Amino acid sequence: MRKFLYGLYGALTVGLTACTDPLVVDNSNNPDRGRVFSNAADLEQLISNTYARTHAATIGGGTVLTGGINDALQPQLLVMGMENVSTLANFAMGPRGAIPRNPITNAPGSQGNLGNYRDWVVGHSAARMAALGIARLQALTLGSPARDARARAFARFSQGVALGNLALAYDSASILTENDNPEADAGVIVPLSGYRQVMGAALAYLDSAIAIASGPSPAGPSGDWFPLPSAWVNGNALTAGATGTFVQLARSYKARFRAGMARTPAERADITAGGIVDWSKVIADAAAGIQSDFAITMDRTIGWDIAWVAQHYATGSANWHQASQFFLGMADTSGGYDSWLAMAPLLRSPFTVVTPDRRFPQGTTRPPQNAVTVPGTFAATPYFRNRPAAADVPGDPLGISQYDFFRSRAFRAADRVGPYPVMTMMEIKLLQAEGYLRSNPPQIVLADSLIDISRVGKGQMKPLKGVITDTLMPVPGMDAAYVAGSRSCVPRVPDAASPGRPYTKTKCGNLWDALKWEYRLETAYTGYGMWFFAARGWGDLPIGTATDWPVPNPEMAARSEPFYGTGGTGGRDAAGPGNYGLFLGGVYGW
């Protein structure tokens, strides 16, 4: 740990030092931090880079100083959550997406070890940078109380986001604080804490950032307070105040983290019902959260990137992506999804999804859908294209489809330069809606209204509000009047009560299914592990899927701790039988 978690940070700061004697070579793994940060400009630069480092630890796929890379958890999260389908061995996508699910082990030489370690290292280094910045602010001023407070708020924000993401992904992590004397003793080994404790620290740091930014402006020139310099969160001059955009973003992260930390449906239940999520707080944070998509202006030449998009549109034998037939099939109203489910698993083949949902290309057969112009932006519909048949590739019959996610195509064509949403407004609105459904009693009308924002506004489907009055009613179809069980409803979900064999026919989904449908479509390929972290708490992962990652093996070796694994049928931290028949004897094994 001392070499990677702390030494990595030294690599970031050593460039700020200089040797006057050419025969004297500094140890870059243990630089003189006191000398490096002996002036305000260096300290503020360090703090201003903390969120960029946090972003790089997740979907950025790189670092502040290096270009984007994909050997990380995000490609694994995409296939494990069935957000993406690829059988390539690259970055452990094929092994992680295989059914039955394989365990994830931290033994040396095991599959995906480099990617498993990368998010750990970069995420912890981001948290350490923030803690170091906080520690130095105790002894060094940036020039005014306002400037110091702004830097402290931003460091706490980055510290909270970094630890929150680590708590989402790993079963445990380290909580380094300014009280651990990080500046004087870079070799200190901080104990591991379980993900719930790490998440508690993350939320507390975000609360600290919110409290500072919500308060009155301290003394100092007006330019020393908010808005933040736009380079700190590239393209975003975030504002202060209880309703300012900085606080909105911090509270949105709190809503995401509270809901997403749950590993099982029992944990995702409300805290009053035995779960670990306080949904009343999720509702409050989400209601005060972002009011539009939060997009960062990406420019990989200065360290802001979405690395996955570099390979997203590769075709042929190098195909990295296609959208999940199993989940996208829920949009189908033609009966094609029923026929597909009724086939023996190994005989299934991709079919054309015919749907009233305008986030899909319209048409009843593949040729007219191929002819639909898909703008390839996050502001437009459709979200998916039906690709040319010549670009199809074989793979697991449960996953492969005719469809590609296409909203990031224009961003890719611009060489990954431009705004990219890393958190959508609908993600936060739908977490608020989920909180309403988990209330006692469920607040149906409030949930309906939030779900309808995208269901009606983007999908152009019949609203739920005024129709759905409980969580069990089937969603309305596109008929002139509401007809219970109408075939034109979306989503249609595999039916456990199908005649003959379970899950071989479909039925209209209920309010919960509609919520999850909107969440999947509106968050696809935006934030970190969007489908995976939600699905494990909903119980929608295939049986045996690891619900988190073990502490990486270099860390375990440095601590002289034994190696272990997560996931695999019957293993530690493994998903139980998945909803919608995602288990042996259900949709993928007869």
pLDDT value at position 66? 46
Confidence at 187, pLDDT banded by 50, 70, 90: low
Q: What is the CA radius of gyration of the chain?
A: 24
pLDDT score of 35: 54
Closest to 97 (Cα-Cα) out of 87, 106, 105:
87
User: Could you tell me where in the chain the CATH 1.25.40 domains are found?
Assistant: 2-260
What does the pLDDT look like over 27-73, one tens digit per residue? 444 445 555 578 999 999 999 999 999 999 999 976 434 446 899 99
Among residues 158, 201, 166, 195, the alpha carbon closest in space to that of 180 is found at 201
| Helix-helix angle 444-457:425-438, to 10 degrees | 150
Question: What's the confidence (pLDDT) of residue 4?
Answer: 36
The confidence score (pLDDT) of residue 319 equals: 85
pLDDT in tens, 324-370: 999 999 999 999 999 999 999 999 999 999 999 999 999 999 999 99
Q: Could you tell me how far CA 35 lies from the centroid of its own chain? A: 38
Q: How many CA atoms lie within 13 A of 482 on its CB side?
A: 13
Predicted TM-score (pTM) of this structure: 0.94
Q: Which amino acid is at 45?
A: Q
**Which phi and psi angles does 100 have, rounded to 5°?**
-70, 155
The C-alpha atoms of residue 454 and residue 468 are separated, in whole angstroms, by 16
String of DSSP letters for 365-426: SHHHHHTS----STTSS-SEEE--GGG-----TTT--SEEE-TTHHHHHTTSEEEEEEE-HH
Handedness of CA 500, 505, 511, 512 (dihedral sign): positive
Q: Both tokens of residue 488?
A: 């034109």
Question: Model confidence at 588, in pLDDT bands (50, 70, 90)?
Answer: confident
Residue with tokens 């070579």: 25
How many Å apart are CA 272 and CA 261, to the nearest integer?
A: 17
CA distance linking residue 378 with residue 538, whole number of Å: 26
For position 14, what pLDDT does the model report? 29
* pLDDT score for 69: 81
Residue 490's pLDDT is what? 97
What is d(CA 70, CA 61) in angstroms, rounded to the nearest whole number? 6
Is CATH 3.10.150 the right assignment for the domain spanning 2-260? no
pLDDT for the residue 12:
42
What pLDDT sits at residue 133?
95
Averaged over 399-428, what is the pLDDT? 97
Higher-scoring residue by pLDDT: 62, 518: 518
Helix (H, G, I), strand (E, B) or coil at 11: helix
Question: Whole-number mean pLDDT of the chain?
Answer: 91
Tell whether omega for the bond before 388 is within 30 degrees of 0, i.e. cis. no
Provide the 8-state DSSP code for 347: G
The DSSP-derived string for 112-161 is THHHHHHHHHHHHHHHHHHHHHHHHHTT---SSHHHHHHHHHHHHHHHHH
Q: Residue 335 corresponds to which tokens in the numbers above?
A: 């009966």
Q: Which band of pLDDT confidence, cut at 50, 70 and 90, is reported for residue 176?
A: confident
Q: Is the pLDDT of residue 159 over 80?
A: yes
What is d(CA 385, CA 403) in angstroms, rounded to the nearest whole number? 6
Residue 3 has pLDDT above 60, yes or no: no
Position 62 scores a pLDDT of 61
Task: State how far the Cα of 257 lies from the Cα of 267, in Å rounded to an integer.
Answer: 13
CA pair distance 23, 140, nearest whole angstrom: 31
pLDDT of residue 27: 45
